[in-house]
A = this chain, B = another copy of it.
């Protein structure tokens, strides 16, 4: 199916893709590159790649499919750095959390002889690193693809074949559409979580209050423990959609605040609406109709 697939970034996502490709014998060769010391050797050991490279340009040379499996913060430099090594006709795809900005970098830095198709797999697990890689990580999960009007159909087909090997379900979205949707259900939640920890830990009684904090605080604050650099890079590359959703969120909090201040006894109506929405979402997730 593929001749040579190059995976750049051999963490949980890149490593799992390599495992899935190799186990399905879908590529003649899988090459790999990672900035981290010894990571590409470990990736070969766990069976995620056939051939590690010390040079980024060497890793992508001759590849018909190049997968950029790094956080969004690395993408701009990466796209610039792989450009000289790419073989004409190659298809490049990525897995970053935001799409419009990455696509504009790809259009700026990649030669016109190669095609770029933005992607975003909606999966993950608590563990990270190539040691946690799992050929079934993508199975039955959603994989967003965000081709533009300029993307060649053959390139979309090639990346779709990759996703088929991974066992995921493709969702085609406009880049801006994707970025708006993930801003609401993925980026707003981590900012809500961070602001909660910020706000309560700035109070004069935080040390005492912390002792009273229980499972509710634990869950709502969990995302605040995530990677600051990754969160920053997401904010920097999706600021319009994120500020839009922060405005919506603040407006809803402001309305709640006013109703609580005036002892509105029908507050439970809104709480019931949110409860029903949350329960429906969970039910749909546990037993999808599709």
Contact = CB atoms under 8 A, between A and B. Distances in A.
Nearest to A248: B199
A219 B212 contact: no
Chain A: interface secondary structure? helix
A79 interface: no
Nearest to A240: B261
Interface stretch (A5-13, A55-63, A109-117, A183-191): A183-191
Interface string A212-232: 111111111111111011011
Given A222-B278, A231-B267, A239-B261, 14 more contacts: A142-B211, A182-B212, A186-B212, A186-B216, A189-B196, A189-B221, A190-B216, A192-B196, A193-B220, A198-B252, A199-B245, A220-B223, A225-B275, A253-B253
Interface stretch (A128-136, A147-155, A200-208): A200-208
A65 B152 CA distance: 78
Nearest to A228: B271
A277 B196 contact: no
Contacts of A246: 253, 256-257, 260
Given A208-B181, A263-B239, A267-B232, A217 B186 contact: yes
B198 A274 contact: yes
Q: How many copies does the complex hold?
A: 2
A220 B277 contact: no
29 contacts: A124-B215, A171-B212, A181-B205, A181-B208, A181-B212, A184-B199, A185-B209, A186-B212, A188-B200, A190-B216, A192-B192, A195-B249, A196-B249, A197-B278, A198-B273, A198-B274, A199-B248, A199-B249, A201-B277, A210-B281, A219-B219, A219-B223, A220-B220, A224-B274, A225-B278, A229-B268, A231-B268, A239-B261, A242-B260
Nearest to A211: B142
A184 B203 contact: yes
A220 B217 contact: no
Interface residues of A, number: 92
A279 interface: yes
Contacts of A243: 257, 260-261
Given A221-B189, A256-B195, A202 B248 contact: yes
B210 A284 contact: yes
Interface string A80-108: 00000000000000000000000000000
A199 B188 contact: yes
Contacts of A186: 212-214, 216-217
A189 B220 contact: yes
A77 interface: no
B220 A205 contact: no
A123 to B, nearest CB: 8
